[in-house]
Amino acid sequence: MKMFVVGSGGREHAIVHALAEGPRVSKVYAAPGNGGIAQQAETAAVPADSVEGLAAFAESHAIDLTVIGPEVPLSLGVVDEFQKRDLPVIGPSAELAQLESSKAFTKRLCSEHAIPTAAYTECATAEEAYRALEGVDYPTVIKADGLAAGKGVVIAESPQQATRTVQDLMESRTLGEAGSRLIIEEFLEGEEVSFHVFADGRDFQEMVPSQDHKRRFAGDTGPNTGGMGAYSLDTMLSDAVRQDVIDRMIRPTLEATQTYSGVLYAGLMLTDNGPKLVEYNVRLGDPETQVILPRMETDLVDVLIAIRDHSLGEVELKWSPLVSATVVLVSGTYPGKIEKGKEIFGLNEASRIGDVTVYHAGTVREDGHVYTSGGRVLNVTAVGLTLEEALEKAYFVAEMVDFEGKDYRRDIGKKGLDKQR
Ligand code: AMP
Ligand code: GLY
């Protein structure tokens, strides 16, 4: 089988890595890819948001199955374009990708199907937003409706900050069209867990739970980022909570959307009043994928083929009991402006350490050398019998690999360790 993976981050490297290992895959292509992906796949310089370009590539290379990593091409209708041309692809249509690309779409779905989520008001104008703010408790949460690469959510601590946020998003349109509609919602307290399922339009199968670390600095402080680390441990969700999430969120959502296919990722908040849906994403999480796929014992390609063929119910999805953890190595000034082009050392040595895989994110490869090309540079992922062991191995290699300005959070998985003690 010839596979094609769209995207250029750590998530896509983990997907390429999993596909390249399987016996059924003869060749993996990726666009645009990165310095790590380029070692395991043939990369093509097609941008991930070029819907026509991606379809043309799949057509001309007779690709058997395409996997879309990021949300932007999905929301732009890449799956619709592939289907129009009869090209096999994994992911939802643009219409159903609104589960991620429109927070109002998802909130309405939650209201219609009694899916537990934060109480909210949808606002189509700034006047409506100012009026909605009159009755709220602080902190309150203000969200731009559209895709905003993680910048669309503000937790406002005071009426002043809330008013300023509405001005910025709706009147100054600092995030463009994403802010043409707002959701103002109740602040939820609790621990966040990422819960993913594969879906084929008929059946679904759940993945192991995981937890992202979104804030830049230790102790969950500093600005939000694309993710500074993650870990996956079965006990993150009790059986009762997992069943509740399936019965009250996943199943009603898939039944309501009828044909949803691909990956559905529920961002959960485990509150004192039970799990609540914070958001849906219509793709695998990053860096969650980097801790989920290393625990998957079933060949990823078998699962993807089953999604394509609507036979997911027949696949026996097996997971390793091992615990996994990933530490994201970033350019020091991330998420601010960063300097690129710093040579990365120690990757060959790291590749010889057992139970550890270094997934590339913002890297490029030139003449056998690897250089930084983004804020999030590498994801050092390890598996172990315990969380402690997985973290120990990941941090050992995080220390070993080096580039100018390297930084990482030293407290990935700490909440999990504390809970176990
Ligand atoms: P979202 O883009 O909706 O996932 O929001 C980004 C992050 O903001 C989430 O991962 C949470 O950490 C935080 N967040 C979003 N909504 C809420 C809420 N209602 N209460 C508390 N935190 C929230
Ligand atoms: N880890 C958060 C996301 O992928 O959206």
Q: Each residue of 288-340: pLDDT tens digit?
A: 999 999 999 999 999 999 999 999 999 999 999 999 999 999 999 999 999 99
* Best mutation site among 194, 196, 280, 283 for ligand 2 pocket (most ligand atoms within 8 Å of CB): 194
Q: CB under 8 Å to 165, separation ≥6 — which residues? A: 142, 154, 156
pLDDT band, very low/low/confident/very high, at 56 (cuts 50, 70, 90): very high
| Of residues 35, 33, 36, the one with CA closest to residue 4 | 33
| Ligand 1 environment, Cβ below 6 A | 118, 141, 153, 185-188, 192, 214, 267, 278-279
Cβ contact 57:86 at 8 Å: no
Nearest CA to ligand 1 atom 1: 279
The CA dihedral of 334, 417, 209, 103, to the nearest 10 degrees, is -50
Q: Residue 218 corresponds to which amino acid?
A: A
pLDDT band, very low/low/confident/very high, at 29 (cuts 50, 70, 90): very high
Cβ contact 44:21 at 8 Å: no
Q: CB under 8 Å to 296, separation ≥6 — which residues? A: 18, 207, 303, 317, 318, 319, 320
Q: Give the strand pairing for 356-360 and 376-384.
A: antiparallel
Rounded distance, CA 123 to CA 129, Å? 5
Mean pLDDT calculated for residue range 139-166: 92
- Predicted pLDDT at 310: 97
pLDDT band, very low/low/confident/very high, at 148 (cuts 50, 70, 90): confident
Cβ contact 394:384 at 8 Å: no
Tell me what the pLDDT averaged over the chain comes to.
Answer: 96
- Tell me the pTM: 0.96
Q: CB under 8 Å to 418, separation ≥6 — which residues? A: none
Res 407 pLDDT > 80? yes
Residue 195 tokens read as 């819960």
For residue range 334-392, list pLDDT tens digits in order: 999 999 999 999 999 999 999 999 999 999 999 999 999 999 999 999 999 999 999 99
* End-to-end C-alpha distance for the chain, whole angstroms: 46
- Predicted pLDDT at 53: 98
For residue range 226-276, list pLDDT tens digits in order: 999 999 999 999 999 999 999 999 999 999 999 999 999 999 999 999 999
